[in-house]
A and B are shown apart, each in its own frame.
Chain A
């Protein structure tokens, strides 16, 4: 049953993606128009799209920073954080 459902969705991937984006749009609209922001802690949280941009930007930042951190050649060349799997066996 689970496999059938997943296959059903995968076969209609474009529709699923479009529906997801529609859902995201509705979420943002709902947030701007209807959500009571009384519980917000800071002024900045009252801006429209704030948490959407925070989520997206945070995700991009984490991925790019981490990959840079992992691939950067530290201490002038040879050493990278992401090392070959047999690093400690050598």
Chain B
């Protein structure tokens, strides 16, 4: 009975999206736009645990609805973010933008509720294809190329995943359930840092497919490329779903794979280093996604109950504060048309509320006490220390100093304070954004503070309740508060001392997308130079080896034609002409002569006839 009543939230979003073009413009449309994500959220919220929507397709049993603690907390935050993102983009008139965004969220929810890898793959691809439209719909000069790069990278990732799924299907004799990847041969976890060569290929490929979407270097460069180029409301959606869905997939299938720990640590620092160099505010935030997702990847790699709790909690908090930051910087771009630090500055007089909202996001991502990051990020770091991975704990702490340095200090300082580099036009256009954008930022800001102040709200949703309750008792211990405040505040001292070093420069940072961007150029070069040379060479060769004999043959046939065939034809023609000339000579034009010839001819015919 319950099974038949269960409605997939993705279905609500997809059908809602398809119905949108039929809704009349005006207040009704705005209500409809809010109602559909709210419905998806409510369906998720009241969903009891269990397995729903299993169907038989050919030889397989597909599960579309596996609802447990892990999938529910992710679905909860995804649908909540869908509401916030839709409100933020409420002013957008174009139906297709909303439809693409909802389809994208539907893809993410589909992966989260999937019970087997085939369904995962199906929705994984839906996510990639829906989100590329979010890049294209900005319709900027670079959008098309960026979108194609994004699509190509994700298609590559999808193919890795598919290859892994097929190989796993074969190796396990038909097991496609979306659960922890265990090695087929020895029943062990598929992949270990200490045992790196004993990898089962299917597990490795599936993991690669997932970590490409999580933005793990060297498979990360699509992220700043696309998120910096997406339209303003689209970037708010994109920053939430792709990477965090990948974290869900890693927590589900790759928990405890040791290799994820160093990868996560590298990610968290890599993002920080590039964020120092970045001049575009939204690209800077994109690099900080890489940094923050690094914590979650490391958490999945550590794999203990506390670490998985931490990864989930951090994903939850991250979606809200990163959405808020993208909304803040997006508002600046929306109002002024600028997102580069070198073209902004001193805007606090013009956009004070946007400043406050962005600052709340900055304090949350930096894990200030009473803000959301504080109760989530530290859980992963503590899990690292508890596993005696001290280098992990210290390096992740170092990365969190870097986080505050950029997102908490650099972004607000160089947009709202600092040297005013706005041109006259930018300055005149600058103002706090429309009400719907402010409302969306307000909701996200509320949650950032609420999560940080009222711990049970988030902790009661985590998959491992016992560990969550245990950690809830120590998260606001005086030691933890003192440690965090010291790190962050002394980072601020360093920032102001080295402020001159941090003045933004009008440059772009070359990242690993260089290889495929220049690789693409290499392909052009290959097409232009060697391939064209080869083409010319073949042409020349053909001329000598093919064309010359052909021409000789042609000349022969031409001669033959002229002298032999035409000889025959012309001969006939010449004969006819000769006969004609003779006949002409006979025709003098005189009537008597003509009568004479005619009578003579008749006489001859008669004589011949009579004689015969």
**CB-defined interface of B464-506 with A at 8 Å, one 1/0 digit per residue?**
0000000000100111101101111111011101100110011
**Nearest CB of A to B500, in Å:** 10
**CB-defined interface of A16-28 with B at 8 Å, one 1/0 digit per residue?**
0000000110011
Q: Does B170 contact A (CB under 8 A)?
A: no
Q: With A2-B352, A3-B348, A27-B485 in contact, do A58 and B276 touch (Cβ < 8 Å)?
A: no
Q: A3–B349 contact, CB under 8 A? A: yes
**CB-defined interface of B448-476 with A at 8 Å, one 1/0 digit per residue?**
00000000000000000000000000100
SS class, residues of chain A in contact with chain B:
helix
Q: With A2-B355, A39-B474, A42-B390 in contact, do A66 and B507 touch (Cβ < 8 Å)?
A: no
Q: With A2-B353, A34-B478, A83-B509 in contact, do A63 and B501 touch (Cβ < 8 Å)?
A: yes
Q: A63–B479 contact, CB under 8 A? A: no
**Nearest CB of A to B408, in Å:** 11
Q: Does A30 contact B (CB under 8 A)?
A: yes
CA distance A67 to B477 in the complex (A): 36
Q: A35–B479 contact, CB under 8 A? A: yes
Q: B493–A70 contact, CB under 8 A? A: no
CA distance A61 to B498 in the complex (A): 11
Please give me the residue from chain B that is nearest to A10 by CB atom: B417
Q: A41–B386 contact, CB under 8 A? A: yes
> Which B227-285 residues have C-beta < 8 A from chain A?
272-274, 276-277
> Which B360-412 residues have C-beta < 8 A from chain A?
382, 385-386, 390, 393, 397-398, 401-402, 405
Complex interface: chain A residues within 8 A of B273 (CB): 62, 65-66, 69
Q: B509–A56 contact, CB under 8 A? A: no
CA distance A63 to B275 in the complex (A): 10
> Which A32-90 residues have C-beta < 8 A from chain B?
34-42, 45, 51-56, 58-67, 69-70, 79-85, 87-88
SS class, residues of chain B in contact with chain A:
helix
| Among B405, B489, B505, contact of A63 (Cβ-Cβ < 8 Å) | B405
Q: B517–A55 contact, CB under 8 A? A: no
CA distance A58 to B505 in the complex (A): 22
Q: B405–A59 contact, CB under 8 A? A: yes
Q: With A6-B352, A62-B398, A67-B501 in contact, do A31 and B482 touch (Cβ < 8 Å)?
A: yes
| Among B276, B479, B495, contact of A70 (Cβ-Cβ < 8 Å) | B276
CA distance A62 to B490 in the complex (A): 13
Q: A27–B491 contact, CB under 8 A? A: no
Q: Does B34 contact A (CB under 8 A)?
A: no
Q: A24–B493 contact, CB under 8 A? A: yes
Q: Does B508 contact A (CB under 8 A)?
A: yes
CA distance A23 to B495 in the complex (A): 17
| Among A51, A60, A83, contact of B486 (Cβ-Cβ < 8 Å) | A51
CA distance A80 to B507 in the complex (A): 11
Q: With A3-B349, A6-B348 in contact, do A82 and B479 touch (Cβ < 8 Å)?
A: no
Q: Does B356 contact A (CB under 8 A)?
A: yes
Q: A59–B494 contact, CB under 8 A? A: yes
Q: B276–A84 contact, CB under 8 A? A: no
Complex interface: chain B residues within 8 A of A56 (CB): 490-491, 493-494
Complex interface: chain B residues within 8 A of A67 (CB): 276-277, 501
Ranked 10 nearest A-B pairs via Cβ: A59-B494, A66-B276, A55-B490, A55-B487, A41-B385, A2-B352, A51-B486, A56-B490, A58-B401, A82-B507
11 A–B contact pairs at CB < 8 A? Answer: A2-B356, A24-B493, A30-B482, A34-B478, A36-B478, A56-B494, A58-B398, A62-B272, A81-B277, A81-B510, A82-B508
Residues in chain B within 8 A of chain A (CB atoms): 272-274, 276-277, 348-349, 352-353, 355-356, 382, 385-386, 390, 393, 397-398, 401-402, 405, 474, 477-480, 482-483, 485-491, 493-495, 497-498, 501-502, 505-510, 517
